[in-house]
Amino acid sequence: MIKEKSADWNSIFILLLKRVLTSVIVLFLMITFLFFLLRIAPGDPSQKFVSPDLSPRLAAMVRQSFDLNSSLLDQYKTFILNLIKGDFGISYTYRIPVIQVIGEFLPFTIIFSLICFIIQLSAGFLLALFVVKKINGTRDKIISQTSIMVYALPSFVIGVALIFIFSVLLNIFPSSGLSSFDFDSFNFFQKMIDYARHMVLPLITLSLGGIAVYYKYLRDNLEEVYNKSFVENLRAHGFEEKVITKKHVIPNAISPLIAVAGVELGLLFGGALITEVIFALPGMGRLTINAILSRDYPLVIGCTFVSGVLIIITNLTADLIKAKMDKRIVKGILN
């Protein structure tokens, strides 16, 4: 028995290693693709240095210091050599190492996405539980219809509407930013409230779509499990409905959700973009867009790399959790 188990873990480890290796290849491909795409595309990072107030010699100087004058392959070689040392280069706009720039923006995005993820899951779950007693009842119909409508609403429409109602008309929540100016003078408790007040509208905006997705998945899964024969069997054996729901139906309905949740969390890391723009939040989305628009090549590559890593990690984690629940699928997913 014990021997079998360890063998199992061994194979998981090997497969995991394989998966990590392919991920590295995928990331490498991605960076290379981006590197060449950025450089063959129109646009010039030194454009910022051409203006009526500046000497034309400056732009030439800057171009040279960005190493944009040497051949494409030479640039690529330098880039890869630096990358192996863990150096993504220096951001053209911020003029500090890319890693450092990302370090300033990444924590916010991760915390924001995780909170949002938790809200989405728990709200979706609660709503599904709320209707589970009477699938296809009035409650179910109302909530299901609303969730479809919410899903169809673009997030920028939700965001703008929320600002209009809660900031402009009712004046309850601030319309943008992460904290007030007097933030530093607050005590810990006030600081938390300040954050909370600023985050209410963005969290609602970003969560609504996901809540609808999770609700729909859970609800459909619950329905499917309820109609399965083993539930009938349990009923026939005289188990209480409550016990059946708690002990058998819910666990069975949740496991397929994990794959979806993994993908959705990955999307959240990258997809908070529009919310960040509407509410002026200092996250990775805005950083990346600005980097793209100002042709900050090293920063674009750095940001995409980090987002890619996050997506790969979340997918992997979801797969591992799934694998833990059901060992049979280990091989299937790790391939």
Partner 1 sequence: MRNKLLLSILLIFSILFLSSCGKKVPVRQNRVVAAISSDIESTNPLFAFNIDEGTISELLYLSLVQHGWNFSTGNMTTSPMLAKSWDWNKDSSSITLNLRDDVKWSDGQPVTAADVIFSFDVYSDPLVQSRLYGSFKDFYTDTSMHVDLKKTFNEISPYKLTINFKKNTPASFYDIDFPIIPEHVYKNVSRKDFVTAEKEIKPVTDGPFELASWNKNQSIILSANTKSFLYNSNDIEELIFKIVPDYYSQLTQLKRGEIDFMQDIRADDYPLLKRQDDLNFTSLKGREYDYVGWNNLDPEVYKQSKKIVPNKLFGSVVVRTALTYAINRGEILHEFLDNHGEVAFGPVAPIFSSAVDTSLKPLPYSPEKAKQLLASAGWKENKSTGLLEKNGRVFSFTLDIPSGNPRREFAATVIQNNLREIGIKMNIEKLEPEVFFQKMFARELNAWMAGWSVSIPPDLKQFWYSKLDDAPLNVASYQNKTADNLLDEIESSRSENVKDELYKKFQEIIYKDNPVTFLYWIDNLMAYNKRIKNFQLTPLGPFHHCWNWSIR
Partner 2 sequence: MRFIPKVWHLIILIAAVIVLLRYNIFINSMLLWIQTIRLIFISPHFAFSQIDFQFLDPLFSSALIIIIPAIILLRHGSKFLQKKIDFTSAVIIILSIFFFLAPLAAGSNPEFQKNLSVTKLLPPFSRIKVLHLKSEPDVVSDQNYFFFLKDLVVKRSFDESIVFADSVVNASNVICYQGGFSIEFPKERVEFHNGSPVVTTKFFLLGTDEYGRDIFSRLIYGARISLFVGLGSVLVSLLLGVSLGFLAGYPGGIIDSMISRITDMFLAFPVIFFIILIIALFGNSIVSVIFVLGFSGWMSLFKIVRGEVISLKNKDYFISARLIGLTKTKLLTKEILPVITAPVIVNLVFQYGNVILAEAALSYLGLGTGSSYPSWGAMIEAGQNYLSQAWWMILFPGLALFFTLLAANNLGKDINVYFNPRLER
Chain positions contacting partner 1, by CB under 8 A: 42-44, 47-58, 61-62, 65, 90, 93-97, 104-105, 163, 167-168, 171-182, 184, 193-194, 196-197, 277-278, 280, 282, 286, 290, 293-295
Smallest gap from residue 224 Cβ to partner 2 (A) = 8
Helical (H) or strand (E) element with 223:
helix 188-226
Number of Cα atoms under 13 Å in the Cβ half of residue 59: 13
Specify whether the CB–CB gap between 23 and 312 falls below 8 A.
Answer: yes
- The residues, any chain, with a CB within 8 Å of residue 15's CB and separated by 6 or more, are 330, 331, 334, 335
Q: Name the binder of 179 from partner 2, partner 1, none, CB < 5-8 A by kind.
A: partner 1
Specify whether the CB–CB gap between 255 and 326 falls below 8 A.
Answer: yes
Number of Cα atoms under 13 Å in the Cβ half of residue 217: 21
The C-alpha atoms of residue 35 and residue 300 are separated, in whole angstroms, by 9
Inter-axis angle of helices 98-132 and 284-293, nearest 10:
130
Smallest gap from residue 67 Cβ to partner 1 (A) = 14
Smallest gap from residue 283 Cβ to partner 1 (A) = 9
115 near partner 2, rule: CB under 8 A? no
Q: Name the binder of 231 from partner 1, partner 2, none, CB < 5-8 A by kind.
A: none
Number of residues binding to partner 2, judged by CB under 8 A: 45
300 near partner 2, rule: CB under 8 A? yes
The interface with partner 2 within residues 12-31 (CB under 8 A) comprises 22-23, 25-27, 29-30
Q: Name the binder of 273 from partner 1, partner 2, none, CB < 5-8 A by kind.
A: partner 2
150 near partner 2, rule: CB under 8 A? no
By beta-carbon proximity to partner 2, the closer residue of 194 and 263 is 263
Number of Cα atoms under 13 Å in the Cβ half of residue 258: 17
